[in-house]
Amino acid sequence: MAFSKGPQAARITSTDVARAAGVSRATVSFVLNGTSTARISEETRSRVLAAADELGYVPHAAARSLRAGRSDLILLPAAVSATGRLFSDWVDDMETALGERGYTVVLHGNRSPDPVTAARAWAQLRPAAVLAMAPNSLTAEAVQVLAQAGTTAVLTIAPEPMPGVFTLLGDQSDIGRVAAEHLVSRGRRRIGVLMPTERGLSAFAEPRLAGIQRVATVHGATVTPLPMPYGGEAASALAVLCRELGLDAVFGYNDEYAALLSAALNDHGVDVPGQIAVVGADDLLLAQIVRPQLTSVRYRLPAADLIADTVDSLINRGTAEPLPSVWFEPVPRQSS
C-alpha cells in the first residue's frame, strides 16, 4: 500500500478557541473545566463551547496536568498476553468504573527486568495512581520512586500489607495450597507442578508452587516442578514425562496450561483422572468446555466499583477504607 503524509493539520490550542470566541484563555479554561470559582455568563459560555467545537479543539492532557500538578492518568501495569480471561474481564470493569470517575486508564505492558526499573518507567508518566496487580511487581524502593514522582495512590495484591501501598490481601500461594489440599484429599501423593516458561508468569507460578510444596510436606507427598512453554509439542513431551515419572496428579498452573496438558495426556492414552488427576486455576470457561471438565481454583477480587472508589479516595484523600481479601476456592470437576 502506498502511503504518504497529508498536509500537516493546524494545531488548535486554547488560544485559538479564545480568539474565536472573543474571550481570554482564562475564560476558555473556566468554561471547559466548569470551574465554579468564576461565574461565566451563559452567553459567553455557549460562545466558547461553540468555538471549541467548531475548531475541533482537544485539550492537551500533558500541558493540563503539568500546570495543574495532578493528572487523571491511572496506570495498570499488565502484559495483555499474560492475562487470563478472569483478569482481563476485571481490567475491563476497572476501566469502566474509573472512567466513570473521570480517570483515564492506560495499560502499560511491563518489559522491565526489576521493580525499580519498571517503577521508573511508570513514574515518567506521572500517573495519579498505579494499580500493580501482578505479584512482586513492587518493592519498597519502587514505591519510593513512585512517591517521588507524585504517585502516592498505589494499589497492589500481596500476602501482607506493604508500607505506603494500599494492599489487597491475597496470596498466590493459596491457589497452590487449595489445589494441593484438594489433590491430597483425593489420595494423590505424587504431584507434578506445571511451570510456564513464558516471561512474566513466574511471578505467579513460583508462589503457587510454594503453596503446593507446603501442603505436600505436611502430607508426605512429593512435588515435581515441570517447566513447559505454552504449546502443543511441549505439552505432548510433558505428557510422556508425567507417565515416566509415575505422577498421579498435576497442577497445571492455570486452566489454559492445564487443559493443554490434559488433552496431551489423553492423546498419549493416559486416563485423566484415572491415572493422573489434573487441576487448573482461574476457573475460566475453558474449564467447562474441555472433556474431562477441568477441576479448577477460582479466585475473586473485590468488585471493580469498590476498588475504583478506593483508588479515588486514595488519590483525593490519601487514604481509604480496608477492602475484603482476595479469596480462593476449589471448583471440583471431572479431571480430579
Partner DNA sequence: CTGAAAGCGCTAACAC
Partner DNA sequence: GTGTTAGCGCTTTCAG
For residue 120, the partner it binds in DNA, a copy of itself, none, with Cβ less than 5 to 8 A by kind, is a copy of itself
Q: Is 41 in the site for DNA (CB under 7 A)?
A: yes
Residue from the set 6, 10, 43, 113 that interacts with DNA by CB under 7 A:
43
Q: Please, are residues 86 and 33 in contact by the beta-carbon 8 Å criterion?
A: no
Q: Does 83 bind a copy of itself (CB under 8 A)?
A: yes
38 binds DNA (CB under 7 A): yes
* Residue from the set 2, 3, 5, 11 that interacts with DNA by CB under 7 A: 11
Nearer to a copy of itself, 139 or 288 (CB): 288
- Judged by CB under 7 A, the stretch of 64-72, 157-165, 226-234, 279-287 that binds DNA is 64-72
Quickly count: other Cβ atoms within 10 Å of residue 305's Cβ.
15
x/- track of binding to DNA for residues 65-104 (CB under 7 A): -xxxx-----------------------------------
Nearer to DNA, 35 or 88 (CB): 35
Shortest distance (Å) from residue 251 CB to a copy of itself: 18
The least distance separating a copy of itself from the CB of residue 44, rounded to whole angstroms, comes to: 23
Task: Please report, in angstroms and rounded to a whole number, the separation of the first and last CA atoms in the chain.
Answer: 54
- Cα dihedral across residues 95, 96, 101, 103: positive or negative: positive
- 262 three-state secondary structure: helix
Give the count of residues interacting with a copy of itself (CB under 8 A): 82
Q: Which of 25, 32, 44, 149 binds a copy of itself (CB under 8 A)?
A: 149
- Smallest separation (angstroms) from a copy of itself to the CB of 62: 4
Do residues 65 and 126 touch, judged by C-beta distance below 8 A?
Answer: yes
Q: Which three cell numbers stand for residue 99?
A: 472512567
For a copy of itself, which stretch binds (CB under 8 A), given 17-25, 64-72, 176-184, 237-245?
64-72
**Binding to a copy of itself (CB under 8 A): which residues in 300-319?**
314, 318-319
Nearest one of 104, 111, 103, 100 to 77, comparing CA atoms: 111
Q: Which residues contact 165 (CB under 8 A, 6 or more apart)?
A: 138, 143, 154, 155, 156, 158
- Check residue 273 and report its DSSP letter: T
Q: How far apart are CA 322 and CA 170, in angstroms?
A: 13
Binding at 36: pick from a copy of itself, DNA, none (beta carbon under 5-8 Å per type): none
Selected from 19, 49, 64, 186, the binder of DNA by CB under 7 A is 64
Task: Report the site for a copy of itself in 195-254 (rule: CB under 8 A).
Answer: 230-232
- Reported as half-sphere exposure (CB side, CA atoms, 13 A), residue 295 has a value of 24
Residue 106 interacting entry, from DNA, a copy of itself, none, C-beta within 5 to 8 Å by type: a copy of itself
Q: Is the Cβ–Cβ distance between 131 and 74 less than 8 Å?
A: yes
Kindly write down the DSSP assignment for every residue of 160-219, as one continuous string. SPPTTSEEEE--HHHHHHHHHHHHHHTT--EEEEEEE-STT-HHHHHHHHHHHHHHHHHH
The residues that touch DNA, with contacts defined as CB under 7 A, are 11, 13-15, 22-30, 32-33, 35, 37-41, 43-45, 57, 59-60, 63-64, 66-69
